[in-house]
Amino acid sequence: MVSRETYYSQEPYPHAIMDGFAPSHMIDGAYQELIEVWPEYMYAVDMNNIAAQNLKEFYPYRNDGDDADIYITRINEMKTQCPHIGHLFTELTSDEFIQKLEEMTGIKGLFADPYYAGGGIHKVKSGGHLNIHTDYMLHPVKPWYRRINLLLYLTPDWRYEWGGKFEMWNEECTERIQDVSPVQNRCVIFNTTSKSFHGHPRPLKTPQGIHRWSIALYYFTEHPPEGEEEHKTAQWRYV
């Protein structure tokens, strides 16, 4: 983790970009599980889960492009079949890790979302993109406030020409301030606010069969952030 001073000195909003974030064997193992085991679970969004049902209303599924999709699914059912993925999720939602998040961000009372609402494993195919947006603040089911996003990239040997950069924009959405290539084992952590516009709006240019895989986790508090208006839906911008 970076220091709190470093975290809050970043533009356009507080964030940290960390390479070599997790043990390399764990990341390599997780990627192999995505390739070898995950396909049978790929469409397993559990619509019996009330969080998933409400998420459809508050944070609609995005499918941009003729051959683009983002799969969002629950993790708990996969842990036995995908032990490396399961281990990563266990570590990233542990009390020890959350304490480090609190120290870096200065936000007390953080906890991981047990519903993985909007999070989990994200996959984007060639041609896919995600328009610039801010995320929902209010949890779709519980009276919780989303405060922190974590993205951990899994695809190995990422090439610059494939694109897929994670972009951070100013609050007016007039200027891209930062972009980050989704290099394997690179982690991006940032504050979730009404001004933290982000996305990967440029269509992916990966070869057939190579996808932009990532883990997305969100951390909440029971108290709202000071000075923020409550909103249940994402705010989209088309830049």
Q: What is the pLDDT of residues 83-138, one digit of tens each?
A: 898 899 999 999 999 999 999 999 999 999 987 877 888 888 888 888 899 998 98
∠ Cα 28 33 34 (to 5°): 100
In a domain, residue 239? The reply is: no
On the question of pLDDT at 62 being above 60, the answer is no
Domain limits for position 37: 4-222
On the question of pLDDT at 28 being above 80, the answer is yes
Please report the pLDDT score of residue 155 as a whole number: 96
In a domain, residue 234? The reply is: no
What average pLDDT does the segment 213-237 reach? 86
On the question of pLDDT at 58 being above 50, the answer is no
In a domain, residue 178? The reply is: yes
On the question of pLDDT at 190 being above 50, the answer is yes
Element housing 86 (H / E): helix 83-92
Cα 236 from Cα 169, distance rounded (Å): 12
Please report the pLDDT score of residue 139 as a whole number: 87
Who wins on pLDDT, 39 or 176?
176
Residue 151: φ, ψ to 5°: -120, 130
- pLDDT bucket at 64, cuts 50 / 70 / 90: very low
In a domain, residue 227? The reply is: no
Cα 133 from Cα 199, distance rounded (Å): 6
Which of 9-18, 41-50, 86-95, 140-149 comes out lowest in average pLDDT?
41-50
In a domain, residue 63? The reply is: yes
Element housing 153 (H / E): strand 145-153
SS3 29: helix
End-to-end CA separation in angstroms for the chain: 31
Cα–Cα nearest to 152, from 196, 193, 180, 182 = 182
CATH code of 63's domain: 2.60.120.620
Rg (CA), the chain: 17
In a domain, residue 104? The reply is: yes
What average pLDDT is seen over the chain? 84
Residue 70 per-residue DSSP state? B
In a domain, residue 236? The reply is: no
The tally of domains found in the chain comes to 1
**pLDDT > 70: what percent of the chain?**
82
Who wins on pLDDT, 163 or 236?
163
* Strand ranges (E), 15-86: 15-18
Which of 6-20, 41-55, 88-102 comes out lowest in average pLDDT?
41-55
In a domain, residue 64? The reply is: yes
What average pLDDT does the segment 140-159 reach? 94
Distance of CA 22 to the CA centre of its chain: 16
What average pLDDT does the segment 18-30 reach? 97
- pLDDT bucket at 38, cuts 50 / 70 / 90: low
Q: How far is CA 203 from CA 60, 61, 67, 87, 170, in A?
A: 20, 17, 10, 31, 21
Is the peptide bond preceding residue 224 cis, with omega within 30 degrees of 0?
no
Please report the pLDDT score of residue 43 as a whole number: 37
On the question of pLDDT at 168 being above 60, the answer is yes
Residue type, 41: Y
pTM: 0.87
